[in-house]
Structure 1
Amino acid sequence: MSTRSTSPEKWALCVVRCCLHLPQLFSTCVAFSLVTDMGIGKGAIGNWSLCLWGFCFTVTLITSITELCKVQSCFPFFWNNFPVTYACYAALVCLSVSIIYSVTYIQFLPYGPHRDRAIAATAFSCIASVLYATEVACTWNGYKIMNTTCYVLTMPGLLKVLETFMAGVIFAFLSNTSLYLHQPALEWCVAVYSICFILAAVTTLLNLVEWEHRLPVKAVITMLSVLLYISALVLWPLYQFNEEFGGQPQRSSDWDCRDELTYDMCTWDQRLAVAILTAINLLAYVADLGYWARQVSVGTEDQPRDS
């Protein structure tokens, strides 16, 4: 890492982060408290949202205390990378919770106190997402001023964040094992999601600790992930929505979706969600592969030179 920054510049960035951490803590805490106050009326989606808001609040609090106490050196990861990486994930997490919670839960709630609390919690979750995104933008600008390199604030770094995040959302839907068990083709899709997630996560972690590796390794890993995701994009919809392979082409054919009193996503909706997320993540991997292909063609990739 190369840094040519002065102490005032570092201090200014730290102050900006701390000023953003306070409203982030407030927003996630309020969203968590509002849904918790709903009691048994919060539903399974509410419990899932509570876990994510609580996680964001906890990590933001730990990050704030670490920076205020100036004990960053006690952590194994390079601190210039960790806060902005977490902020990227937190922005995506809060945004996804806001969307999923409103689409799959709030719209089915009857008018009343529970619905009002759920709407307010979603609003604060959206605010938290904007605040985390603002922290990423401020850090990006600050690092440019200080001439500080950061893997996450590069095109491949941002794509890796998106790839691992989308895989995490897919895993949340796959917690319903009835979607794929006893069907080898669908179990293969789950294996694809797991393998690609591990490869992307390991690549991200190695780059966060500034482990240098050559371009062919990155290109091969990305190419492998693209091929695996193509197979999943073909097999998952084929075996989930084609009657010839035991799928259900119509939403009305799923008995879970006929129950209008339930506040949770029915099985058919979960199948569709995984298919859409698979397509989105495949596009991210294709963009990642395109980036590395361009790096090869123009020869701009920095590689260790033999002396």
Structure 2
Amino acid sequence: MPVIVLETKDFTSPLFVVRTWEVLSSCATFSLVASLDSSELSKNSNNVNSFRIFCMFIWCFFFTLTLLIHILSVIQFHSLIPISWKNLTMTVAVLGALMCLTTSIVFPWIIMDHQILSPCSVAAAVISSLTFLAYTSESYILCNQAHEQRGYMGSMPGLLKLLQLWGGLQMIPLVVEMLLNGVPSWQQWVSCLSYSVCIFMSLITLVVILGDLAGRCLLPFDRFLAVFSLIGVLLYMVATVICFTKILQQSKNNDVELVIMETVVVSITLLAYTVDLAFSIKLLCDRSHA
């Protein structure tokens, strides 16, 4: 297949502009943060370094992924890749917006709460917010395309699954910090198991959708998703009860700020799984009556 480069007018399209914006702003953000003195970031707190690593990973990961998508879009080479391109671009845009929203909250919290104010750190926080706006803009553009162009991930159930994956990924640095800063309890291990199972289910779902493997599933794909949503609801209900229990106990072994953050994210994720389960049940009922 010959390589086709975009026409001149395509370089001024909204999609091209926002992806260029994403690449430049994410690159500028992690470059500024990398230039900060690590010893300065680590003072006054034991958990700053873990969250900084988490933020750096998000900026670097989405910079790399967006740059590859941008290049493949320009040279029109994506048709040779054995994945669903429309679902991939939607996934990267929406998940990038959600993850950059996290960094735009967490990193300013780090520099404000631990008095790490400097021109570079403030600039990084501002540009991280601009990166979030860029991914949000791309998500808006893609969601306003025709249904055939945006694919399953652009539908409400698809967006809910990305929200579920986002919620699971937020638990990684939070749980790590709570395990490192105190004696692990049975509650924390149960929560870890719940989050791990849900992240695993979300990744399986994402692989099936991006690889167009729905037809190869042992179960019909809609039942497959309904089972995963039901398991997610049950596991996050357990995690939500544990989070509220830890807040009420106000245990000295728990960092109150981290527990509150965990509770907020868990509640949002539980809501996403609940709504997604309702969509799945409605779809199964509609098909059974058809």
Structure 2: distance between partners of 1:226 and 1:119: 39
Tell me which residue corresponds to 1:197: 199
Structure 1: distance between partners of 2:54 and 2:221: 39
Cα displacement string for residues 57-111 of structure 1 (whole angstroms, at most 9, x for unaligned residues): 211111112222222134332212212211111111111101111123324326x
CA RMSD in angstroms comes to: 2.9
In 2 relative to 1, CA 108–81 (structure 1 residues): closer, same or farther, beyond 3 Å?
same
Tell me which residue corresponds to 1:158: 159
Structure 2: distance between partners of 1:140 and 1:241: 38
Which of structure 1's runs of 4+ aligned residues deviate more than 4 A? 11-15, 179-182, 300-303
**Displacement, 1:218?**
2.1
Bigger CA drift: 163-172 or 115-124?
Answer: 115-124
Tell me which residue corresponds to 1:261: none
Tell me which residue corresponds to 1:23: 21
SS, match of residue 76 in structure 1:
coil
Tell me which residue corresponds to 1:228: 235
**Displacement, 1:42?**
3.5
Q: Which AA in structure 1 matches 2:75?
A: C
Tell me which residue corresponds to 1:130: 133
Tell me which residue corresponds to 1:120: 123
**Displacement, 1:19?**
2.0
SS, match of residue 77 in structure 1:
coil
Contact 1:17 1:135 survives alignment (8 Å): yes
Tell me which residue corresponds to 2:3: none
Q: Which AA in structure 1 matches 2:236?
A: Y
SS, match of residue 109 in structure 1:
coil
Q: Which AA in structure 2 matches 1:126?
A: S
In 2 relative to 1, CA 292–88 (structure 1 residues): closer, same or farther, beyond 3 Å?
same
In 2 relative to 1, CA 271–76 (structure 1 residues): closer, same or farther, beyond 3 Å?
same
- What number of residue pairs does the alignment pair up? 270
Structure 2: distance between partners of 1:181 and 1:78: 44
In 2 relative to 1, CA 79–199 (structure 1 residues): closer, same or farther, beyond 3 Å?
same
Instruction: Percent identity, please.
Output: 22
Matches of residues 190-269 of structure 1 in structure 2 within 5 Å? Answer: 190-210=192-212, 211-212=214-215, 213-238=220-245, 240-243=246-249, 248=251, 253=252, 267-269=255-257
Tell me which residue corresponds to 1:173: 174
SS, match of residue 142 in structure 1:
coil
Q: Which AA in structure 2 matches 1:227?
A: L
Structure 2: distance between partners of 1:162 and 1:302: 30
Matched, 1:89 2:95: yes
List gaps (5 residues or longer) in structure 2: 1-5, 43-48
Cα displacement string for residues 272-298 of structure 1 (whole angstroms, at most 9, x for unaligned residues): 22222111111111111122233344x
Q: Which AA in structure 2 matches 1:201?
A: L
Contact 1:223 1:289 survives alignment (8 Å): yes
Cα displacement string for residues 6-64 of structure 1 (whole angstroms, at most 9, x for unaligned residues): xx9xx959944322222212211221222222222344133432222122221111111
SS, match of residue 105 in structure 1:
helix
Structure 1: distance between partners of 2:131 and 2:150: 26
Tell me which residue corresponds to 2:45: none
Structure 2: distance between partners of 1:191 and 1:12: 47
Contact 1:38 1:117 survives alignment (8 Å): yes
Matches of residues 51-70 of structure 1 in structure 2 within 5 Å? Answer: 51-70=57-76
Structure 1: distance between partners of 2:35 and 2:199: 35
Q: Which AA in structure 2 matches 1:272?
A: I
In 2 relative to 1, CA 87–32 (structure 1 residues): closer, same or farther, beyond 3 Å?
same
**Displacement, 1:235?**
2.4
Contact 2:142 2:150 survives alignment (8 Å): no
List gaps (5 residues or longer) in structure 1: 1-7, 255-265
In 2 relative to 1, CA 20–233 (structure 1 residues): closer, same or farther, beyond 3 Å?
same
Contact 2:168 2:195 survives alignment (8 Å): yes
Structure 2: distance between partners of 1:85 and 1:134: 14
Contact 1:106 1:119 survives alignment (8 Å): no
Structure 2: distance between partners of 1:221 and 1:157: 13
Tell me which residue corresponds to 2:46: none
Matched, 1:143 2:141: no
